[in-house]
C-alpha cells in the first residue's frame, strides 16, 4: 500500500469507527476539491497531522476546512483559501440557513444541538464537533413549521446529545419543552428524537412523551454496556440494575413505548464475565430494537491507551452471540403485532423488493429499525396509498425484525398552510457559541 493509500484508508477507518459520527464529505466542483471536517479547532496533534498529511499526500485536495467553517467552504472552492485560520468549531445552522433535504420530503431530520460535553472514552466526537451548544428554541420550531408546511409528516430530532438540549440556553427540561411545542404543529404525524443519554432522561421528558399523541411513543437510548466495570472504563457510569429501573419507569409512564438501544462489545478490559452480564441484561431489558457495535481503536480516543484489548475474533463472536439473543426477543415481540391495525407512514416502493412497498409505525425510526413491508396498497374502492400518506395498515405476518401487512384505509391529508415568512434580513448566516449571544458574520 502506498503512503497515499494508507492515509486514505486510515481516514476511512477514523470515519467508520467514530460512533454516531456525522457523515464526512468530500466536496468537489469541476476544478477544486475540499475536505471538510478535519477540525483543527483544538489543535490536537492528531488533527494537525491528518490535515498536513492530506495536503501533502493527496494533491487533488485544494483546501482543508474544519467542521466549524461550513460557511467558508465557498471561499475554499473558489480557491481563496487553502488552510483556514484556527477557530473553535462553533457553527450551528438555523432556520434561515439554506438547506437541501436529503431525505424524502415526508420524513426530515432536524439537528437541535451540536457538539458534546460527555467524556466517553471510546468517542472522539467532542474533539471533532466541539462543546455542546443548542440551537435557539424558536429557530427549531420555525424550521419544523416550514418543513411541515412543505409536506413533511414526520420530524426526527437529532444531535450528539439531544437530552441536554437547552441547558446552555438556561432552559430547564429544554427537550421536553421543545417536544411539547412541536407537538402543536398540526401537519405533523409524528415527532421523535434520537440518542437519549440515560442519566438525562427526566420524568418531565417521559410525561411529555406520554401526554402528546403527536410525539412518537419511541425512545432511542444508547446504553453502550451493562457491566459497572465496563461503563466505568467508558467513563459513562451507572450499571445494568439502574438501567433496568429506568426502563421500567419509561414503560410505566409511556404504555406501548418502543425502546431502542445500542451496545459496544469488546471494549478494552471486557471479560467473559462482563459480557455475560451484558447478555443477561439484554434478556431482561427486552428491547424492541437493538444494535451492537464491535469496539475498534481510534488513536486519540481515551480508550486507545487502555489495557486489556480484546482479540478481533472474540469481539465479532460476542457481537453475534448478543445479536442472537436479541433476534429471539425481537421475533417474539413482533408476533404480538399480528392481526392488529395501526397507523403507518407510507415510505414508498421498497428498495429490497420491487413487488412490495414500505411503511413505518410510530415505533420504528427511519433507517435504523426493522421494516414494515406492504403487499397491498390498493383499497377496495380503487384508490392507492402514496408515498408520504398516513394510512391504517393491517399486520398480516411477522418476522424476526420485520412486519408484513396491507393498507386498509388512507387517512386524510392535513390542510396546507403558508410557509412561516421571516422579515427580510441582510444577515445570511449566524454563528452561535455556547452561552454567547448571537454573533452575525459580516
Ligand atoms: S455522549 Fe459520549 S458517545 Fe455520545 S457523542 Fe458524546 S462523547 Fe460521544
CATH code, domain carrying 381: 2.40.50.140
Residue 138 C-alpha cell reads as 424558536
Q: Check whether residue 116 and residue 207 sit in a common domain.
A: yes
d(CA 289, CA 330): 7
- The response to whether residue 123 sits with its C-beta less than 6 Å from ligand 1 reads yes
Please check whether residue 335 is in contact with residue 276, taking contact to mean a CB–CB distance below 8 angstroms: no
CB-ligand 1 contact for 194 (6 Å cutoff): no
Co-location of 137 and 39 in the same domain: no
- CA distances 77 to 36, 246, 262, Å, are 11, 49, 38
Atom of ligand 1 nearest to the CA of 124: 8
What's the pTM value of the predicted model, to 2 decimals? Answer: 0.82
**How remote is the CA of residue 116 from the centroid of ligand 1, in Å?**
6
196 in ligand 1 pocket by Cβ < 6 Å? no
Q: What digits encode the pLDDT tens for the residues 291-349?
A: 999 999 998 899 999 999 999 999 999 999 999 999 999 999 999 999 999 999 999 99
**Ligand 1 centre distance from Cα of residue 153 (Å):** 29
* Dist CA 170 CA 174 (whole Å): 9
Cα distance between residue 163 and residue 193, in whole Å: 9
348 and 317 inside one domain: no
Residue 301 placed within a domain: yes
User: What distance in Å separates the CA atoms of residue 39 and residue 48, rounded to the nearest whole number?
Assistant: 8
Shortest-distance Cα residue to atom 1 of ligand 1: 118
Residue with CA closest to ligand 1 atom 5: 160
Q: What is the pLDDT of residue 90?
A: 67
- Between the CA of 271 and the centroid of ligand 1 the distance, in Å, is 23
Residue after which a domain boundary falls, among 315, 335, 355 = 335
User: Which is the closest atom of ligand 1 to the Cα of 160?
Assistant: 5
Index of the ligand 1 atom closest to the CA of residue 195: 4
Q: Nearest residue CA, atom 2 of ligand 1?
A: 120
Residues 72 and 109 occupy one common structural domain: no
8 Å CB contact between 269 and 305: no
Supply 86's cell numbers: 484556527
**Could you give the 3-state DSSP secondary structure of residue 169?**
helix
pLDDT for position 442: 23
Task: Please indicate, yes or no, whether residues 170 and 288 belong to a single structural domain of this protein.
Answer: yes
Mutate to test the pocket of ligand 1, among 17, 111, 118 (most ligand atoms within 8 A of CB): 118
CA of 438 to the centre of ligand 1 (A): 26
- Is any atom of ligand 1 closer than 6 Å to the C-beta of 174? no
* In a shared domain, residues 190 and 311: yes
Contacts for 136 with CB less than 8 Å, ≥ 6 apart: 94, 169, 432, 438
CATH number of the domain where residue 117 is located: 3.80.30.20
Cβ atoms within 10 Å of 376's Cβ, excluding its own? 16
Gap between the Cα atoms of 153 and 216, Å rounded? 12
Q: In the listed set 335, 355, 383, which residue is the last one of a domain according to the structure?
A: 335
Domain membership of residue 427 (yes or no) is no
Give the Cα separation of 334 and 402 in Å (integer). Answer: 8
Whether residue 318 sits in one domain with residue 372: no
Residues of the chain with pLDDT under 50: 7, 10-43, 423-442
Please give the residue range of the domain that contains residue 8: 3-77
Q: For the chain, what is the domain count?
A: 3
**Distance of alpha carbon 427 from its chain centroid, rounded?**
29
92 assigned to some structural domain: no
Residue 161 Cα to ligand 1 midpoint, Å, equals 7
What is the CB neighbour count within 10 angstroms for residue 269? 17
DSSP annotation of 97 reads: S
Residue 438: per-residue pLDDT: 32
Residue nearest to atom 8 of ligand 1 (CA): 123
pLDDT recorded at residue 146? 94
| DSSP conformation class of 186 | T
- Do 216 and 259 form a contact (C-beta atoms < 8 A)? no
Amino acid at each position: 500500500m502506498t503512503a497515499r493509500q494508507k492515509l486514505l484508508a486510515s481516514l476511512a477507518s477514523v470515519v467508520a469507527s467514530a460512533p454516531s459520527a456525522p457523515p464526512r464529505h468530500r466536496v468537489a466542483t469541476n476544478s477544486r476539491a475540499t475536505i471538510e471536517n478535519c477540525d483543527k479547532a483544538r489543535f490536537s496533534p492528531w488533527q494537525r497531522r491528518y490535515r498536513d498529511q492530506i495536503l501533502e499526500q493527496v494533491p487533488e485536495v485544494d483546501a482543508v476546512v474544519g467542521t466549524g467553517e461550513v460557511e467558508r467552504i465557498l471561499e475554499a472552492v473558489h480557491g481563496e483559501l487553502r488552510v483556514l485560520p484556527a477557530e473553535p468549531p462553533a457553527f450551528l445552522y438555523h432556520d434561515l440557513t439554506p438547506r437541501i433535504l436529503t431525505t424524502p420530503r415526508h420524513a426530515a431530520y432536524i439537528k437541535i444541538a451540536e457538539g458534546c460535553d460527555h467524556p466517553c472514552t471510546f468517542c472522539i466526537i467532542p474533539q471533532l464537533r466541539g462543546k455542546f451548544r443548542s440551537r435557539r428554541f424558536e429557530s427549531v420550531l420555525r424550521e419544523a413549521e416550514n418543513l411541515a408546511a412543505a409536506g413533511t409528516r414526520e420530524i426526527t430530532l437529532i444531535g450528539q446529545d439531544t437530552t441536554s438540549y437547552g441547558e446552555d440556553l438556561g432552559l430547564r427540561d429544554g427537550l421536553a419543552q421543545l417536544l411539547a411545542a412541536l407537538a402543536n404543529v398540526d401537519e405533523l404525524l409524528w415527532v421523535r428524537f434520537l440518542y437519549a443519554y440515560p442519566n438525562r432522561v427526566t420524568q418531565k421528558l417521559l410525561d411529555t412523551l406520554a401526554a402528546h399523541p403527536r410525539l412518537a411513543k419511541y425512545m432511542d437510548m444508547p446504553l453502550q454496556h451493562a457491566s459497572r466495570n465496563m461503563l466505568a472504563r467508558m467513563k459513562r457510569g451507572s450499571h445494568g440494575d439502574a438501567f433496568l429501573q429506568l426502563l421500567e419507569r419509561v414503560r410505566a409512564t409511556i404504555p406501548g413505548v418502543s425502546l431502542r438501544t445500542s451496545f459496544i462489545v469488546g471494549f478494552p478490559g471486557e471479560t467473559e464475565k462482563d459480557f455475560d452480564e451484558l447478555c443477561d441484561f439484554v434478556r431482561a431489558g427486552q428491547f424492541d430494537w437493538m444494535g451492537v457495535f464491535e469496539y475498534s481503536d481510534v488513536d486519540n480516543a481515551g480508550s486507545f491507551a487502555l489495557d486489556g484489548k480484546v482479540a478481533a475474533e472474540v469481539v465479532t463472536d460476542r457481537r453475534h452471540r448478543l445479536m442472537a439473543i436479541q433476534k429471539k426477543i425481537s421475533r417474539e415481540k413482533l408476533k404480538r403485532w399480528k392481526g392488529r391495525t395501526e397507523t403507518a407512514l407510507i415510505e414508498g416502493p421498497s428498495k429490497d423488493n420491487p413487488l412490495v412497498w414500505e411503511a413505518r409505525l410510530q415505533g420504528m425510526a427511519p433507517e435504523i429499525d426493522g421494516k414494515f413491508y406492504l403487499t397491498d396498497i390498493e383499497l377496495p374502492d380503487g384508490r392507492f396509498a402514496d408515498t408520504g400518506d398516513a394510512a391504517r395498515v393491517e399486520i398480516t405476518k411477522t418476522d424476526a425484525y420485520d412486519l408484513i401487512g396491507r393498507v386498509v384505509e388512507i387517512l386524510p391529508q392535513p390542510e396546507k398552510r403558508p410557509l412561516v415568512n421571516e422579515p427580510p434580513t441582510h444577515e445570511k448566516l449566524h454563528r452561535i457559541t455556547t452561552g454567547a449571544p448571537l454573533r452575525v458574520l459580516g
